[in-house]
Amino acid sequence: MLSKILKVANKDYLEKERESVFEIGSNSDLILENTITGNLIWTIEHFASNPEQKGFLTFPTKFDMVDTILGLNHHGKVIVRMSVNPEEIIHKVEFGTSRLKGRIDAINRLKSAGYKVGILIAPVIFVENWKEVYSELIERLSLELSAEVKKEVFFEIIFMTYSYVHTKINEEAFPNAIELYDKNLMTGRGRGKYMYKKDLRMEGEAFFRNKLHQFFPDNKIIYIV
């Protein structure tokens, strides 16, 4: 698979004069997986072994165990997107993942090691006090992210979608988790799947655009979905 990515990346550059970005973290959290397999170290080293290699690898993570990749010769060809949420939501929903402080510290260390970095606010969960907790999150990011990170960091915002199948699995694995489905806030989007209603998503998008512009006026929001 990596050899195919290498070929496609160079082909895109030659034919389209652009450097493509390849998502490699869709199926698992590669920082966590790397603590067992070491696969991420191998992938980064082999992709970036040639400084002239075109294209970028990218992946998201909710974990702060990044020490093993800090010293790699990645040649600026890897984009790490740290997924964050308010501490209250991490505590009640994202069981077993790193605390917010650890995630912020990790993104600062990754940037110091030369990685390109992004912040993924996801999944956005409209808890009762959502404006308060997400305001606190964004303000905390502005205070604790390094000046180096804030020069170039970009943002992605993803609203939570709900699946009865995933919820039944999580109920067994995490019996103390909060109830995520709210029939007053959500609408169907397919068999057994739900999303927040349009009006709420529009309110949420306006909120995040305003807050991020207030605290990160020079940084891009790639998308809000």
Task: Specify which residues 163 forms β-bridges with.
Answer: 193
Asked if residue 73 is part of any domain, the answer here is: yes
Q: Residue 167 has what pLDDT?
A: 67
For the chain, what is the mean pLDDT? 92
Q: Residue 169 has what pLDDT?
A: 62
Q: Residue 49 has what pLDDT?
A: 86
Asked if residue 5 is part of any domain, the answer here is: no
Query: Which tens digits make up the pLDDT trace of 101-159?
Result: 999 999 999 999 999 999 999 999 999 999 999 999 999 999 999 999 999 999 999 99
- H runs (alpha helix) in 48-114: 67-70, 87-92, 100-112
CATH number for the domain that contains residue 119: 3.80.30.30
pLDDT bin (cut points 50, 70, 90) of residue 164 is confident
Asked if residue 196 is part of any domain, the answer here is: yes
Q: In a 10 Å sphere around its CB, with 0-12 CB exposed, 13-18 middle and 19+ buried, how is residue 89 labelled?
A: buried
Q: Residue 190 has what pLDDT?
A: 77
Asked if residue 75 is part of any domain, the answer here is: yes
pTM, two decimals, is: 0.92
Asked if residue 80 is part of any domain, the answer here is: yes
Higher pLDDT, 10 or 67: 67
pLDDT bin (cut points 50, 70, 90) of residue 4 is confident
Q: How far apart are the first and last CA of the chain?
A: 29
Asked if residue 9 is part of any domain, the answer here is: no
Asked if residue 152 is part of any domain, the answer here is: yes
On the question of pLDDT at 168 being above 70, the answer is: no
Which domain range does residue 109 map to?
A: 21-28+56-224
Query: Which tens digits make up the pLDDT trace of 24-39?
Result: 998 899 999 999 999 9
On the question of pLDDT at 195 being above 90, the answer is: yes
Higher pLDDT, 127 or 2: 127
Could you tell me the sign of the dihedral formed by the alpha carbons of 8, 13, 16, 18, in that order?
A: positive
Asked if residue 173 is part of any domain, the answer here is: yes
Answer whether 19's CB lies under 8 Å from 8's CB: no
Quote the number of domains for the chain.
1
Higher pLDDT, 175 or 200: 200
